Structure 1
Amino acid sequence: MILHNKIKRNAVDIICLLYILLFVYAAASKMLDFENFQIQLGQSPLISAFASWVAPAVLALEFLTALLLMIPKFRMAALFLALSLMSLFTVYIFIILNYSSFVPCSCGGILEKMSWTSHLIFNMIFVLLAGLGIVLHHNAERTYKSRKKAFSVLLKMIFTVGSSAVMIIILFLCSESIMHFENPFIRRYPQHPAMFERQLDLKYNSYYFAGQSHGRIYLGNYTAPLHLKSADARLRSLKAEKIVFDANGILFQKPIVSVQESFFFLKDGTVPAVFRGNTSDWKINHEIKGMPYFTQLVHMDSIAAGFRSNDGKNLAHILGVFSENARPPVKYSGKLLQKQIDGVFDTDGVLLYSEQVQRLVYVYFYRNEFIIAAKKGDLIRRGNTIDTVSKAKIKVAYLKGKKERTMNAPPLIVNANAAVCGNLLFINSKIKGKFEDSKLWEQASVIDVYDMEKSMYLMSFPIYNLQDHKMGSFFVTRDRFFALIGNSLVAYRFRDILKKEFKNGGFVQN
């Protein structure tokens, strides 16, 4: 009997030693690269919202468990703690592999070299070892009276594993809700939702995205307004088009072109003038009359548009809609833009239109807010980007008796640019979130993706620099992301993790 108990104790010693080596090594490797470990937890699809306290808690528990395993008096309690931790880790990986929205990178140490499936098997083996250690330790130390407690030990083991599983499931559900709807400024970077596909050398950097028509992406040229280039979705062919138009004495100052399927528009808000033509022959055949002065204009169809102008009192920005067939043709929506400082710089932003869901979208440059409006200019909802800059951080100086104004200091840009496609809003953010690598922000531009229908943050992905040139403007279709970077037009192909977020329909139509 004594020899039998000695074998059990030796087996328990070996199990404890394996756990001590595992926890000390794992905790030490995480501690030596704690920032990276915290970043990895911040990118986890399960516990992103709790990464700030989960990271130090895991380290503390691993070190504590290893220490308690060295002390015979606390060995049984330490084995139960080890069983709980390894159960947590095992259920965590099982949910990652089967129920999470994406599979992140692994979390360091010896396990960093393992696949997630190997990692799961490794953890399950250690769960069984902890259970075996508890049984052997109990049997080796028990007396005649304590034999009746064997069943209670088994129940405690079942409860430990079950409560650990419930705990990680609750953390997962709570974290998902917080990340999507109450995001604490933690971005999620799934593995390659947008894959680099191809780039074209345009020779010059004077191009901008004009729109799309019949599967081709059109680029306008600021220095040659009547000349366009188009490329197919995979950037395999590049074509040149020239608009046929007689200006007839119109003093254009900043003319730009936009393309929307069968139609194209030549417009200049400083005149103001808007002309329409057909992409079949690239000839101007109609002048849209009655358009007010505008600083931005997005076409909703061949006769209707959303625009941004300035009111007559203090030149503050104001949004409105125009319809050639309506009477009156112009309707201003004075309550859409909300003044914080001067009504001009603080309300600056980019006006967009999603043809698929027929919604106007306005994204502020200097605060974490965007506006969704109906085709008639009525407010639907206000949304927020995940950063915390709720008030524009700008300083305005007034010149010439307060008749002119200028920026008194460089502003804090929150959202540099944006694009919409269907129910999704893509924003180029300039604010680094929690648990993010500074090198990434030096090497790339970060795109945040939002579902406008559900008012929720989805994910983020980087668009990397080309020869030290950062991304300028960008354009989005249902399967690709196009960017102008330096002199190049670059195409990224969306993977299923992002493509599945596009909805057919979406908002209730007008």
Structure 2
Amino acid sequence: MIVVEYIRKHFVQIVSYLLAFLFIYAAFSKAIDFEAFQVQLAQSPFLGAFTGFVSYGVLIVEVLVAMLLLIPKRNRQGLFGSIGLMTAFTFYIHLILLFSDFIPCSCGGILEKMGWGEHLLFNIVFLLLAIIALYVSAKEHHVDTKKEFKYVSWVMLGNMLLVIAIFGTSEHIMRTQNSFVRRFLQYPIIEDGSLKLDNADYYFAGADSDHIYLGSRNLPQLLTTVDTGLAKTYKMKILPDNLDHSFKKIEVQVKSPFYYFYDGTVPVIYRGKLGDPKAQTVSFGDAYFTQLAVLDSGKFAIRTQSSQTKDLVLASFELLGKPKVNFYPTVLQKQVDGFFDVDGKLIGGGDVGNLVYTYSYRNQFIVLNKNLEVLNRLNTIDTTTIAKISTASLSDGQHKLSSPPLRVNSKSAANKNFVFIISDLMGRYESRKAWKNAKVVDIYRMDRQEYVGSFYLYNDNGKSVSDMLVTEKYLYVIIGNKLQRFYFRKPLYDKNITGEAENLIVKSRQ
């Protein structure tokens, strides 16, 4: 009875102390590992775009409310602040339970050990205690309780509307106006097969419905065929009809039912039928090129150098065309020198049939149709809009890089309506430890400005990804001397492949 009487008499003070302890403890847990706290916030589609503001704002507000609760003359304001905070936290978790499979929020300490339902109940209990304490305080100080609860209703409604507004705005920013905050998808790919290769010099030459094809940098005449189950391997030595050329960079590319064996420095292109080692010359001396993408059996997209401006340009090349080569000098947009600043990777867009050119040193990729007409110029989520390169002119008229450039995009692959880009830049609020042990892959749509999400491809025995290939069902990667196959947890063509964020550090919910 004595305890009950004491609680009744000092109820407001007890609840205030409990709330103050809760907020101080939560703030301390966040502050002691602030980097992890920000990483977790960045993964939430509700808060990701406002990670910087929210991470500092929550800590400041929690400490401020705790101080108000501990000052007798400011206790009423502290209770209103507690109701506002607990309403926002509770409503946030409620939205997570309704609309998300798994989204890490952020609190820390013992609270992170609770399940979603337990934490929701925990917050509701403390929210009710704060409301009851405010009611008791109003009665003790002869304050109009109806008026007081009118204020409480406005505080609760205002905080719920604030959470909704932040969620809607954050989601829009994360997808279309991202300021380099990655959203790591929750297990978007799952490894289900691997094949040990005899060396680490292989690259992907193409794929069809039943096979993937590998070229070799060390043995350029070797074309290796692997079934999609990674069970059977067939090697074939390509035998061109003429090898009397000064080859410098031989590559092979497959577009069923043909393979193409070429060197743009000669320049020469051979074509052979899959399964037949004999390849015939289909082009010799028509156009020099540094990159080639096969459009069909007699048409190609190439990257070459303008003889007049010395800039890199894209061109179409048709074996039976008149003229054979048509230049498109406005596709690649010059920023610094027209050569290094427009460097990038030209790839075919898988089943879509489009081409994608990803700049190496700026945050942009270009989607083109088979006629090399620009469909979209889209941005990656990093903020490098201008290529950060420095060049020097030599006495012989050549230009060289005078310092190492800042590489933005490393490798890319495309299929259906998606582009997969391996980025060389670490985003905001990301784990440095993860970056040391993995490459990050960002996914974008081709048809509009939309960032879908990211995932890690982890190193294997100290080796990182050297090449990747995307088909409708699988992602294939070469890491060292291992070929790995991953299947997509959701189909690549699923329009609902949206941001289920991965918990990178530790679960937390307040």
The one-letter code sitting in structure 2 at the alignment partner of 1:364 is Y
> In the superposition, relative to structure 1, how do residues 282 and 455 fare at CA in structure 2: closer, same or farther (>3 Å)?
farther
Question: How many Å separate the matches in 2 of 1:497 and 1:86?
Answer: 39
> In the superposition, relative to structure 1, how do residues 284 and 115 fare at CA in structure 2: closer, same or farther (>3 Å)?
farther
**1:48 paired residue number:** 48
The one-letter code sitting in structure 2 at the alignment partner of 1:37 is F
1:234, distance to aligned residue in structure 2 (A): 4.6
* Runs of 4+ deviating beyond 6 Å: 3-6
1:66, distance to aligned residue in structure 2 (A): 1.6
Residue pair 1:8, 1:137 contacting (<8 A) in 2 also: no
Question: How many Å separate the matches in 2 of 1:237 and 1:10?
Answer: 77
Alignment of 1:204 with 2:199, yes or no, is: yes
The one-letter code sitting in structure 1 at the alignment partner of 2:477 is A
Question: How many Å separate the matches in 2 of 1:79 and 1:120?
Answer: 20
**1:173 paired residue number:** 168
Scaled by the length of structure 1, what TM-score is found? 0.90
1:71, distance to aligned residue in structure 2 (A): 2.3
Structure 2 unmatched runs, 5+: 498-510
> In the superposition, relative to structure 1, how do residues 291 and 66 fare at CA in structure 2: closer, same or farther (>3 Å)?
same
The one-letter code sitting in structure 2 at the alignment partner of 1:125 is V
> In the superposition, relative to structure 1, how do residues 355 and 289 fare at CA in structure 2: closer, same or farther (>3 Å)?
farther
Residue pair 2:242, 2:281 contacting (<8 A) in 1 also: no
Alignment of 1:457 with 2:448, yes or no, is: no
Q: Secondary structure at the match of 1:174?
A: helix
Alignment of 1:217 with 2:212, yes or no, is: yes
1:251, distance to aligned residue in structure 2 (A): 4.6
Question: How many Å separate the matches in 1 of 2:136 and 2:184?
Answer: 44
* RMSD across aligned positions (CA): 2.5
Question: How many Å separate the matches in 2 of 1:445 and 1:359?
Answer: 26
Alignment of 1:266 with 2:261, yes or no, is: yes
**2:420 paired residue number:** 426
Residue pair 1:265, 1:275 contacting (<8 A) in 2 also: yes
Question: How many Å separate the matches in 2 of 1:224 and 1:279?
Answer: 18
1:85, distance to aligned residue in structure 2 (A): 0.6
Q: Deviations over 1:72-118 (max 9, x none)?
A: 32222212211111111112122233335852365422222223333
1:46, distance to aligned residue in structure 2 (A): 1.0
The one-letter code sitting in structure 2 at the alignment partner of 1:478 is E
1:206, distance to aligned residue in structure 2 (A): 1.2
The one-letter code sitting in structure 2 at the alignment partner of 1:284 is A
Alignment of 1:437 with 2:441, yes or no, is: no
> In the superposition, relative to structure 1, how do residues 173 and 326 fare at CA in structure 2: closer, same or farther (>3 Å)?
same
Which deviates more from structure 2 when the two are superposed, residues 91-100 or residues 356-365?
A: 91-100
Residue pair 1:106, 1:116 contacting (<8 A) in 2 also: no
- Higher relative contact order (CA closer than 8 Å, sequence separation 6+): 2
Question: How many Å separate the matches in 1 of 2:467 and 2:111?
Answer: 40
1:454, distance to aligned residue in structure 2 (A): 1.7
Alignment of 1:88 with 2:76, yes or no, is: no
Residue pair 1:206, 1:223 contacting (<8 A) in 2 also: yes
> In the superposition, relative to structure 1, how do residues 172 and 497 fare at CA in structure 2: closer, same or farther (>3 Å)?
farther
**2:506 paired residue number:** none
Question: How many Å separate the matches in 2 of 1:235 and 1:124?
Answer: 53
Fraction of identical pairs, as percent: 38
Alignment of 1:486 with 2:480, yes or no, is: yes
Alignment of 1:303 with 2:306, yes or no, is: no
Scaled by the length of structure 2, what TM-score is found? 0.90
**1:185 paired residue number:** 180
Alignment of 1:468 with 2:462, yes or no, is: yes
Q: Deviations over 1:297-354 (max 9, x none)?
A: 0112222221101111242211011233443332211101112222211111100121
Question: How many Å separate the matches in 1 of 2:147 and 2:5?
Answer: 21
Alignment of 1:194 with 2:189, yes or no, is: yes
**1:138 paired residue number:** 138
Which deviates more from structure 2 when the two are superposed, residues 195-204 or residues 430-439?
A: 195-204
**1:115 paired residue number:** 115
Q: Deviations over 1:129-171 (max 9, x none)?
A: 22222233333x154xx4xx33333332222222111101100
Alignment of 1:253 with 2:248, yes or no, is: yes
Match of 1:405 among 399, 402, 406: 399
How many residues matched? Answer: 495
Q: Secondary structure at the match of 2:289?
A: coil
For residues 360-379 of structure 1, what are the structure 2 equivalents within 5 Å?
A: 360-379=355-374
Question: How many Å separate the matches in 1 of 2:447 and 2:126?
Answer: 44
Alignment of 1:416 with 2:402, yes or no, is: no
The one-letter code sitting in structure 2 at the alignment partner of 1:227 is L
For residues 121-132 of structure 1, what are the structure 2 equivalents within 5 Å?
A: 121-132=121-132
> In the superposition, relative to structure 1, how do residues 169 and 438 fare at CA in structure 2: closer, same or farther (>3 Å)?
same
Q: Secondary structure at the match of 1:112?
A: helix
Structure 1 unmatched runs, 5+: 504-510
1:443, distance to aligned residue in structure 2 (A): 1.0
**1:506 paired residue number:** none
